Structure 1
Amino acid sequence: MELKLELVLLPVTDVDRAKAFYADKCGFHVHVDHRAGENFRVVQMDPPGSACSIAFGVGITDAAPGSIKGLHLVVTDIVAVRDELAAKGLEVSEVRHMKDGWQPGVDPDHTDYNSFADFADPDGNTWVLQEKGYQA
Protein backbone atom coordinates (compact mmCIF):
# COMPACT_ATOMS: atom_id res chain seq x y z
CA MET A 1 0.00 0.00 0.00
CA GLU A 2 1.15 3.52 -0.78
CA LEU A 3 -0.40 6.64 0.76
CA LYS A 4 0.77 10.01 -0.51
CA LEU A 5 -0.21 13.23 1.19
CA GLU A 6 -0.61 15.68 -1.67
CA LEU A 7 -2.93 18.46 -0.46
CA VAL A 8 -3.56 20.28 2.81
CA LEU A 9 -6.48 22.71 3.14
CA LEU A 10 -5.78 25.98 4.95
CA PRO A 11 -8.66 28.07 6.26
CA VAL A 12 -8.14 31.78 5.54
CA THR A 13 -10.29 34.90 5.71
CA ASP A 14 -8.97 36.73 2.64
CA VAL A 15 -7.97 34.59 -0.35
CA ASP A 16 -6.07 37.32 -2.20
CA ARG A 17 -4.12 38.29 0.93
CA ALA A 18 -3.21 34.63 1.57
CA LYS A 19 -2.19 34.13 -2.06
CA ALA A 20 0.10 37.18 -1.96
CA PHE A 21 1.60 36.11 1.38
CA TYR A 22 2.43 32.58 0.28
CA ALA A 23 3.71 33.66 -3.16
CA ASP A 24 5.64 36.79 -2.22
CA LYS A 25 6.91 36.10 1.29
CA CYS A 26 7.18 32.29 1.27
CA GLY A 27 8.06 31.68 -2.38
CA PHE A 28 5.26 29.15 -2.97
CA HIS A 29 4.29 28.50 -6.59
CA VAL A 30 0.68 29.13 -7.71
CA HIS A 31 -0.71 26.22 -9.72
CA VAL A 32 -4.45 26.85 -9.61
CA ASP A 33 -6.63 29.90 -9.05
CA HIS A 34 -10.11 28.83 -10.09
CA ARG A 35 -13.50 30.40 -9.46
CA ALA A 36 -16.89 28.86 -10.09
CA GLY A 37 -19.34 31.58 -9.19
CA GLU A 38 -19.54 33.73 -6.07
CA ASN A 39 -19.41 30.85 -3.58
CA PHE A 40 -16.44 28.84 -4.80
CA ARG A 41 -12.79 29.66 -5.35
CA VAL A 42 -9.75 27.48 -4.89
CA VAL A 43 -6.11 28.54 -4.93
CA GLN A 44 -3.57 25.70 -4.94
CA MET A 45 0.11 26.40 -4.26
CA ASP A 46 3.15 24.41 -3.29
CA PRO A 47 6.38 25.13 -1.47
CA PRO A 48 9.48 24.95 -3.67
CA GLY A 49 10.54 21.30 -3.99
CA SER A 50 7.49 19.86 -2.25
CA ALA A 51 5.22 17.11 -3.56
CA CYS A 52 2.46 18.33 -1.23
CA SER A 53 0.40 21.42 -2.01
CA ILE A 54 -1.73 23.72 0.08
CA ALA A 55 -5.15 24.95 -0.99
CA PHE A 56 -7.34 27.71 0.35
CA GLY A 57 -10.30 29.60 -0.95
CA VAL A 58 -14.03 30.03 -0.65
CA GLY A 59 -16.36 27.08 -0.18
CA ILE A 60 -13.62 24.47 0.32
CA THR A 61 -13.48 24.11 4.13
CA ASP A 62 -15.53 25.11 7.12
CA ALA A 63 -12.53 25.11 9.48
CA ALA A 64 -11.88 28.36 11.35
CA PRO A 65 -9.28 30.65 9.76
CA GLY A 66 -5.96 30.27 11.57
CA SER A 67 -6.83 26.88 13.07
CA ILE A 68 -4.08 24.89 11.31
CA LYS A 69 -1.03 24.70 13.58
CA GLY A 70 2.46 23.29 13.15
CA LEU A 71 2.71 22.32 9.48
CA HIS A 72 6.35 21.34 8.93
CA LEU A 73 8.59 22.36 6.07
CA VAL A 74 11.74 20.21 6.13
CA VAL A 75 14.86 22.01 4.91
CA THR A 76 18.50 21.02 4.52
CA ASP A 77 19.98 24.37 5.66
CA ILE A 78 17.71 26.07 8.17
CA VAL A 79 19.90 29.16 8.53
CA ALA A 80 19.96 29.82 4.79
CA VAL A 81 16.20 29.23 4.40
CA ARG A 82 15.34 31.32 7.45
CA ASP A 83 17.53 34.19 6.19
CA GLU A 84 16.02 34.01 2.69
CA LEU A 85 12.47 34.12 4.05
CA ALA A 86 13.30 37.00 6.41
CA ALA A 87 14.84 38.92 3.49
CA LYS A 88 11.47 38.64 1.71
CA GLY A 89 9.82 40.35 4.69
CA LEU A 90 8.50 37.23 6.42
CA GLU A 91 8.42 37.43 10.20
CA VAL A 92 10.16 34.17 11.10
CA SER A 93 11.56 33.26 14.50
CA GLU A 94 15.22 32.85 15.23
CA VAL A 95 16.58 29.33 14.80
CA ARG A 96 16.50 27.20 17.95
CA HIS A 97 17.52 23.65 18.60
CA MET A 98 16.65 20.97 21.09
CA LYS A 99 19.79 18.84 21.23
CA ASP A 100 20.20 19.66 24.93
CA GLY A 101 16.76 21.14 25.60
CA TRP A 102 15.43 24.18 23.74
CA GLN A 103 18.33 26.51 23.07
CA PRO A 104 18.63 29.58 20.88
CA GLY A 105 20.96 29.24 17.94
CA VAL A 106 21.82 26.38 15.63
CA ASP A 107 22.86 22.85 16.55
CA PRO A 108 26.60 23.04 15.73
CA ASP A 109 26.55 19.39 14.63
CA HIS A 110 23.43 19.92 12.49
CA THR A 111 21.89 16.71 13.79
CA ASP A 112 18.70 15.81 11.96
CA TYR A 113 15.37 16.98 13.36
CA ASN A 114 16.91 19.18 16.08
CA SER A 115 16.83 22.72 14.63
CA PHE A 116 13.62 24.71 14.17
CA ALA A 117 12.21 28.12 13.29
CA ASP A 118 8.58 29.10 12.83
CA PHE A 119 6.23 31.62 11.27
CA ALA A 120 2.52 32.29 10.85
CA ASP A 121 0.39 33.41 7.93
CA PRO A 122 -1.82 36.52 8.26
CA ASP A 123 -4.67 34.41 9.72
CA GLY A 124 -2.49 32.63 12.29
CA ASN A 125 -2.01 29.26 10.59
CA THR A 126 1.46 28.25 11.77
CA TRP A 127 4.44 26.64 10.07
CA VAL A 128 7.65 25.11 11.39
CA LEU A 129 10.95 24.93 9.52
CA GLN A 130 12.86 21.80 10.55
CA GLU A 131 16.39 20.92 9.48
CA LYS A 132 17.26 17.46 8.12
CA GLY A 133 20.08 16.31 5.90
CA TYR A 134 22.46 19.26 6.34
CA GLN A 135 25.72 18.89 4.44
CA ALA A 136 28.53 21.38 4.92
Structure 2
Amino acid sequence: MDWKLELVIVPVSDVDRAKKFYTEQLGFTEDVDHRAGDDFRVVQLTPPGSACSITIGTGLTKAEPGTYEGTHLVVNDVEAARAELVERGVEVSEPFHFTAAGKQDGVHPDRSDYGTFLSFQDPDGNGWTVQEVGKAS
Protein backbone atom coordinates (compact mmCIF):
# COMPACT_ATOMS: atom_id res chain seq x y z
CA MET A 1 0.00 0.00 0.00
CA ASP A 2 1.30 3.47 -0.90
CA TRP A 3 1.00 6.24 1.68
CA LYS A 4 1.33 9.56 -0.09
CA LEU A 5 1.67 12.91 1.59
CA GLU A 6 -0.40 15.17 -0.62
CA LEU A 7 -1.53 18.11 1.52
CA VAL A 8 -0.09 20.23 4.34
CA ILE A 9 -2.19 22.86 6.11
CA VAL A 10 -0.28 26.11 6.74
CA PRO A 11 -1.84 28.47 9.33
CA VAL A 12 -2.16 32.08 8.15
CA SER A 13 -3.88 35.18 9.53
CA ASP A 14 -4.84 36.83 6.23
CA VAL A 15 -5.84 34.35 3.53
CA ASP A 16 -5.78 36.83 0.64
CA ARG A 17 -2.34 38.19 1.60
CA ALA A 18 -0.96 34.66 1.95
CA LYS A 19 -2.55 33.54 -1.32
CA LYS A 20 -0.93 36.46 -3.13
CA PHE A 21 2.47 35.62 -1.60
CA TYR A 22 2.31 31.93 -2.47
CA THR A 23 0.99 32.43 -6.01
CA GLU A 24 2.70 35.65 -7.12
CA GLN A 25 5.99 35.49 -5.22
CA LEU A 26 6.57 31.74 -4.93
CA GLY A 27 4.85 30.74 -8.17
CA PHE A 28 2.51 28.16 -6.63
CA THR A 29 -0.54 27.19 -8.70
CA GLU A 30 -3.98 27.93 -7.26
CA ASP A 31 -5.93 24.67 -7.39
CA VAL A 32 -8.95 25.56 -5.27
CA ASP A 33 -10.43 28.64 -3.59
CA HIS A 34 -13.71 27.62 -1.97
CA ARG A 35 -15.82 29.40 0.65
CA ALA A 36 -18.68 28.01 2.68
CA GLY A 37 -19.83 31.07 4.60
CA ASP A 38 -17.71 33.50 6.60
CA ASP A 39 -16.17 30.86 8.86
CA PHE A 40 -14.79 28.42 6.29
CA ARG A 41 -12.49 28.96 3.33
CA VAL A 42 -10.04 26.55 1.77
CA VAL A 43 -7.35 27.62 -0.70
CA GLN A 44 -5.21 24.81 -2.08
CA LEU A 45 -1.89 25.77 -3.70
CA THR A 46 0.73 23.57 -5.34
CA PRO A 47 4.43 24.33 -5.87
CA PRO A 48 5.64 23.88 -9.46
CA GLY A 49 6.45 20.20 -10.10
CA SER A 50 5.17 19.01 -6.72
CA ALA A 51 2.78 16.16 -5.97
CA CYS A 52 2.11 17.70 -2.54
CA SER A 53 0.06 20.86 -2.04
CA ILE A 54 -0.51 23.28 0.81
CA THR A 55 -3.83 24.56 2.05
CA ILE A 56 -4.38 27.93 3.67
CA GLY A 57 -7.73 29.23 4.78
CA THR A 58 -10.22 29.87 7.53
CA GLY A 59 -11.63 27.26 9.89
CA LEU A 60 -9.04 24.63 8.98
CA THR A 61 -6.69 24.35 11.94
CA LYS A 62 -6.22 25.42 15.54
CA ALA A 63 -2.52 26.10 14.89
CA GLU A 64 -1.48 29.73 15.29
CA PRO A 65 -0.34 31.64 12.19
CA GLY A 66 3.43 31.86 11.96
CA THR A 67 4.12 28.76 14.07
CA TYR A 68 5.23 26.35 11.33
CA GLU A 69 8.97 25.88 10.82
CA GLY A 70 11.03 23.75 8.50
CA THR A 71 8.55 22.72 5.84
CA HIS A 72 10.84 21.75 2.96
CA LEU A 73 10.74 22.54 -0.72
CA VAL A 74 13.28 20.51 -2.71
CA VAL A 75 15.11 21.88 -5.77
CA ASN A 76 18.03 20.62 -7.84
CA ASP A 77 19.85 23.99 -7.86
CA VAL A 78 19.60 26.05 -4.69
CA GLU A 79 21.45 29.03 -6.19
CA ALA A 80 19.06 29.21 -9.17
CA ALA A 81 16.11 28.85 -6.77
CA ARG A 82 17.45 31.69 -4.63
CA ALA A 83 17.89 33.93 -7.68
CA GLU A 84 14.29 33.25 -8.72
CA LEU A 85 12.95 34.01 -5.25
CA VAL A 86 14.95 37.24 -5.00
CA GLU A 87 13.67 38.29 -8.44
CA ARG A 88 10.12 37.69 -7.20
CA GLY A 89 10.74 39.91 -4.15
CA VAL A 90 11.06 37.20 -1.49
CA GLU A 91 13.42 37.92 1.41
CA VAL A 92 15.54 34.78 1.40
CA SER A 93 18.72 33.71 3.18
CA GLU A 94 22.02 33.06 1.51
CA PRO A 95 22.59 29.35 0.83
CA PHE A 96 24.04 27.50 3.82
CA HIS A 97 25.37 24.05 4.64
CA PHE A 98 25.27 22.04 7.85
CA THR A 99 28.55 20.47 8.88
CA ALA A 100 28.81 16.92 10.23
CA ALA A 101 28.80 18.46 13.71
CA GLY A 102 25.42 20.05 12.98
CA LYS A 103 26.76 23.59 12.76
CA GLN A 104 25.66 25.94 10.00
CA ASP A 105 28.33 27.35 7.71
CA GLY A 106 28.63 28.69 4.18
CA VAL A 107 27.88 26.63 1.10
CA HIS A 108 29.96 23.48 0.98
CA PRO A 109 32.18 23.54 -2.12
CA ASP A 110 30.89 20.14 -3.25
CA ARG A 111 27.23 21.01 -2.57
CA SER A 112 26.42 17.40 -1.89
CA ASP A 113 22.81 16.29 -2.07
CA TYR A 114 20.74 16.97 1.04
CA GLY A 115 23.43 19.26 2.46
CA THR A 116 22.75 22.75 1.06
CA PHE A 117 19.80 24.91 2.08
CA LEU A 118 18.27 28.35 2.12
CA SER A 119 15.32 29.66 4.07
CA PHE A 120 12.53 32.23 3.94
CA GLN A 121 9.30 33.08 5.72
CA ASP A 122 5.78 33.72 4.52
CA PRO A 123 4.05 36.99 5.57
CA ASP A 124 2.92 35.39 8.87
CA GLY A 125 6.39 34.11 9.75
CA ASN A 126 5.90 30.45 8.85
CA GLY A 127 9.43 29.26 8.13
CA TRP A 128 10.28 27.42 4.92
CA THR A 129 13.47 25.57 4.03
CA VAL A 130 14.66 24.99 0.48
CA GLN A 131 16.91 21.95 0.18
CA GLU A 132 19.13 21.06 -2.74
CA VAL A 133 18.78 17.47 -3.99
CA GLY A 134 19.87 16.19 -7.38
CA LYS A 135 22.63 18.70 -8.16
CA ALA A 136 25.21 15.90 -8.31
CA SER A 137 23.08 13.91 -10.78
For Structure 1 versus Structure 2, the TM-score category normalised by the shorter chain is over 0.9
Gaps of 5+ in 1: none
Q: TM-score, normalised by structure 1?
A: 0.94
**Counterpart of 1:31?**
31
CA distance in 2, matches of 1:8, 1:109: 32
CA distance in 1, matches of 2:98, 2:136: 19
**Counterpart of 1:114?**
115
Gaps of 5+ in 2: none
How much does 1:27 deviate? 0.8
Question: Deviating runs (4+, > 6 A) in structure 1?
Answer: none
Q: TM-score, normalised by structure 2?
A: 0.93
**Counterpart of 1:53?**
53
Q: For 1:14-29, what aligned pairs fall within 5 Å after superposition?
A: 14-29=14-29
How much does 1:135 deviate? 4.5
RMSD (CA atoms)? 1.3
How much does 1:98 deviate? 2.1
SS at 1:31 equivalent: strand
CA distance in 2, matches of 1:12, 1:56: 7
How much does 1:51 deviate? 0.4
SS at 1:48 equivalent: coil
How much does 1:112 deviate? 0.7
1:102 paired residue among 87, 101, 104 = 104
